[in-house]
Amino acid sequence: MMLGLFLPTQTGGFSQSTLPRATRWDFEYNKALTLTAEKYGFDFVFGLQQWLPKGGFGGESHYRENFLDPFISTVALAPVTTRIITISTVHVLYGNWHPLHLARFAATADHISGGRFGLNIVTGYDATEPLMFGMDRIEHDARYDRAGEFSSIMEQLWAGEDNITFEGRFYKLEGAYVSPRPLYDRPIMVSASASKVGFDYAARHSDIVFTSSPAGAIFENAIKALPAHTASIRASYAATGRTGKVIIFPLIICKPTRAEALAYRDAIVEHADLDSIRGYTARHSGGDAKGWAKHVPADRILGGHIQIIGSPEDVAEQIQQLHDAGIDGIQIGFYDYAPELDFFARNVLPLLEQRKLRVAQT
């Protein structure tokens, strides 16, 4: 079971509550989290990409107003780490991104990291974000057509067999070349997808699919829907002859006992930043993402594609259930990141090792 940390590189992390906590968006805080995750044997880290106006989603917290760029941030983390994989999230269709630019940037990042670099390619679902770049939102399925051409060009450039002359539907290159090439064939490729066309894109270009729960964030509902969901992802891969991994984002609330975890959850919920949730809901309702139909505004208080709440034994059991449902890895978020990451690592990781979901670090 792969373990990743979803870095809180934006104000409020992933939880829309004002209950006091020490979670911060700044680089030094996220660097410290990454080093802690690496110490405990986590496999990768990456961050969210989003474009927001002044005030973010509003509310008392000004949720997500401050937002470190996840591409630059994860590249900057590479030289201060030694083993963990740093993955950069990029909206490839916004503005003037060109595959030649990103192919060179990613190859450079790959060398900076010593081959520990990945790209999380996202196409953008929001209706207002493209307006910031002077463009209209591309239709859902057409976005994946364009992203597919973008990624195919990068793959050719990374292969480095010859200068590339290419004229497609969206991009044109003449005599293009990138060197040095990535250290190990290409960076790890990730895509955030929840639709059939997104899974088909992933099956052609991605090593990892970062997906959501099709049944909302409540664990008991999500776990029933996930086996069929992960099977559909694997069916897309099977059609191409490739294989890929499936990961999901659980927001984990873990305390020594189940009662303490539930009490902590209740305290977070009691301090819901309702105005920011209204702002998020209003903006999200204008999007065309396919993976959030069963998610409700109340899910935003804790956050996450799925919510895992309980004692260390409860948490280990629910992670086991995700594994049994076809999930290959989890990209974890917390409410108060630093102490909760440490508690999780000290108390849940040994239980995952006992279940053969993880190998003990030496």
CA distance 267 to 309: 13
The model's confidence at residue 287, banded by pLDDT at 50, 70 and 90, is: confident
CA distance 308 to 317: 10
pLDDT tens readout for residues 194-233: 899 999 999 999 999 999 999 999 999 999 999 999 999 9
Q: What is the pLDDT of residue 87?
A: 97
Report pTM. Answer: 0.96
Domain residue spans in the chain? Answer: 2-354
**φ, ψ for residue 283, nearest 5 deg:** -75, -40
| Letter string b/e over residues 10-33, b meaning 16 or more CB atoms within 10 A of that residue's CB | bbbbbbbbbbebebbbeeebbbeb
Q: What is the pLDDT of residue 360?
A: 84
Please tell me the least confidently modeled range out of 122-131, 154-163, 181-190.
122-131
Q: pLDDT above 70 covers what percent of the chain?
A: 99
What average pLDDT does range 330-358 have in this prediction? 98
pLDDT tens readout for residues 6-60: 999 999 999 999 999 999 999 999 999 999 999 999 999 999 999 999 999 999 9
Structural fold of domain 2-354: TIM Barrel (3.20.20)
Q: What is the pLDDT of residue 76?
A: 98
pLDDT tens readout for residues 138-179: 999 999 999 999 999 999 999 999 999 999 999 999 999 999
Q: What is the pLDDT of residue 292?
A: 66
pLDDT score of 77 more than 90:
yes
